[in-house]
Chains A and B, each alone.
Chain A
Amino acid sequence: MKSTSSKWRALVGAAVALAMASVGTASPAIAATTLKKGLKVFVVPKNLGNSYFTTADSVKTGGALLALKQLGEVGQETSGTTDTPASQLPVIQADITKGANALIISGTDPNALCPTLNAAMKKGVTVVTYDSDTNCRDLFVNQASPQGLGNIEVQMIAKEINPKQPTAAAGQIAIVSASISDTNQNTWIKYMKQELTNYPHLKLVKVVYGNDDTATSVQVTQGLLSSYPNLKGIISPTTVGIAAAASVLDTPKYRGKVRLTGLGTPNEMKKYVADGTLSEFALWNPADLGYLAAYAAVELASHAITNAPGQSFVAGKLGRYKVGADHTILLGPPFVFTKANINKFNF
């Protein structure tokens, strides 16, 4: 999962200059009559058998294939077995040969797929990337903005520390990050510090680095607890770190006393949410990401919209979306997992 999480961070970082995209209220009843039916749309995740992408793509979870089915398209998930361009590229080529109208791709490499994808786009195939961008596509559906991720983590820890009045939350907090040179982590931490100015009584005392290694993350968390006995909360913006920190805090001594939140995956955090070690954490909903990417692909392939900034469309149950700068659509604010919804997810 480590590699997957770092990929997620990598692609989130790819969208630093992102404009506001998602707008307001859902009105799923609006039927897009201009959309073509029977389009051949291939969904190409990084690899098959990856539970994150299974959630993003399948009908059962409400992902890309469900959206395609509802729109009356012929959707199919194809990919290689390993997360490499060498494994993904032949599959994409085969999809084009099979007469694809649109491709929805999570790129295994920003450049390696480009000769093939550029040729496909010339022939009129719509190329939409999701989850992980490439340097050659019509649209990129991005799952979260760095600022959104930074802000929500601070908001969550404040709520954990003082549920009644988060802005009055007081005490020392610390961050368990991945590596000290990780651009994305540092960007998020920068936004966290910015957001912290709205919480005058929360004091960030230390940022420690667990290098996205479980054992190291456990040790740095222990070090924090030993050197800051009054620590009130820990934010860990990395899936490895938050699970490791949770395993340390999951004792009667700390459970509920040192609060925890950050970015995690539901499967890793289920136990800790169930036993009250933490009550919420964020990520995005992969199924929504796939669903949105499918709508975007069909809209483009039907020429109902172009990929120009400012173009907008209604993505079924998710509501109206607008194409932002750099031909990118932002899924929206991070998704918050709680005890109430965590069991609906399996990734």
Chain B
Amino acid sequence: MNAVKGRTVLFVVIAPFVLTGAALGWLRESRSYRTAPPVTAELETSRLLPIGIGGAPAEVYFASGSVYEKDAYNLSQGKRLYDWFGCPACHGDGRGKNGPSFLDGWWLYGPDMVSIMASIRNGRPHGMPAFRDRMTEEQIWQLAGYVETIGAYKALIAAPSRNDGIHTRPSENRAPAVILFEQGPVGNRREQGPTP
């Protein structure tokens, strides 16, 4: 009798936590620090439409769980790469300088993962250099995923938070694009590319 009662108690107490755990598991951040070279080689085969905007990632991207868009570790690595590879020189904190902003709702070359990835990897007209030879394929995808979160209109739970540095705009996990967009567009700089 006592044992049965104990088991029921245990079950009812633990059940909600197993459910919570399952929910967490969905956000699960299994970290893989090493991406197998065949996977990165396969990622390189992601195809772009002939106009250079939009396209389809390689199948392996989905098969490996779209980690560059969803996984907190990869996104935060992307954030570090953003600094390490000098992106702020042209794009500032994401609001643009000489280069376009990621937060104004305009994506000159498309807002999707493949377009952003292609912009980084191959460069774009009007000054965006190609990073093909400066970053590894994995880094390009990490950075692309991060850039996507800067301009996202819905905050991802996995998105990075603020850095230990000067704070200039809401951090990525607060969906800065939404907050800043409400303050009005900063305007498109014509010289940087075609008007969408």
Partners in one complex: no
B residues contacting A by CB (< 8 A) are none
A residues contacting B by CB (< 8 A) are none
